[in-house]
A = this chain, B = another copy of it.
Amino acid sequence: MTMTATIDPTTSGTHDTLDGLDSEAFPAAFRHHAAGVAVITADSGAGPAGLTATSVFSVSADPALLVFSISAVSSSAPTIASADTVVVHLLGIEQLDIAQLCATSGVDRFADPSIWDRLATGEPFFPAAATWIRGRIVNRMVAGASTVVAVHALEAGQGDHSASPLVYHDRSWHGLGQHSALDV
C-alpha cells in the first residue's frame, strides 16, 4: 500500500514567530543552487505524459530508491503523480532539446514519433537519454504546492557513457566536463 503524508507547516506541532520566507525570497535564495536535469515520463492510461525536473536524487542504493518532486502547476503532474510506474531520464547535453520540449507549456510533447518509443513494459520513454531508470512509485508526500514522489528503481538503460551531464542553474543550461572540473 502506498502511504501519503501531507506537509502543512501551519499545523505542525511547533510554531515559529516567523511566517517563513516569502515566495520571492525563497526562490531568490535557491537561485544559487544548481541541479542535474531529468525528464520523467509515464502513461496512466490516457496517453504519454512527460515533464522536465531538476529535483531528482538517489536516496538509497539497497533498496534502490530515488525521489523527485513535481509541481501541481505542471500540466503533466496529475498523470505522473498518479502513475504506477515512471521512467526517469538523466540527461546529457545532447538531450537539451528533450529537456526544453518537456519544459514547454502548451505543446504536445509526444507529437514527433521519431524521438520517443515505449518500453516492453509499456511506459513511454526517450531512447536518446544518456541514462534512463524505470521504477515503481512506492510513496508520495504532499509538500505545499508540490508532491514528493519516491520510486523503487527496477530497470535501467544506459546510453552514451561519455555524455556530459546537463545542469540547470539560474534559468540557464550548463554542461559539465573537463572545462568545469575544479583542480582539487
Query: Contact residues of A with B, CB < 8 Å?
Result: 1-7, 9-14, 16, 18, 20-23, 25-30, 32-36, 38, 54-67, 69, 71, 84, 90, 92-93, 96, 100, 130-131, 133, 135-136, 138-139, 141, 143-146, 148, 150, 152-156, 158, 161, 163, 165, 167, 169, 172-176, 179-182, 184
Verify B57–A7 contact, CB threshold 8 A.
no
List residues of chain B with CB within 8 A of the CB of A16.
Answer: 136, 154
Verify A32–B136 contact, CB threshold 8 A.
no
List residues of chain B with CB within 8 A of the CB of A148.
Answer: 59, 67, 141, 148, 150
Verify A9–B163 contact, CB threshold 8 A.
no
Verify B136–A12 contact, CB threshold 8 A.
yes
Identify the closest chain B residue to A27 (Cβ). B61
A165 with B12, Cβ < 8 A, contacts A67-B148, A144-B65 known: no
Identify the closest chain B residue to A157 (Cβ). B29
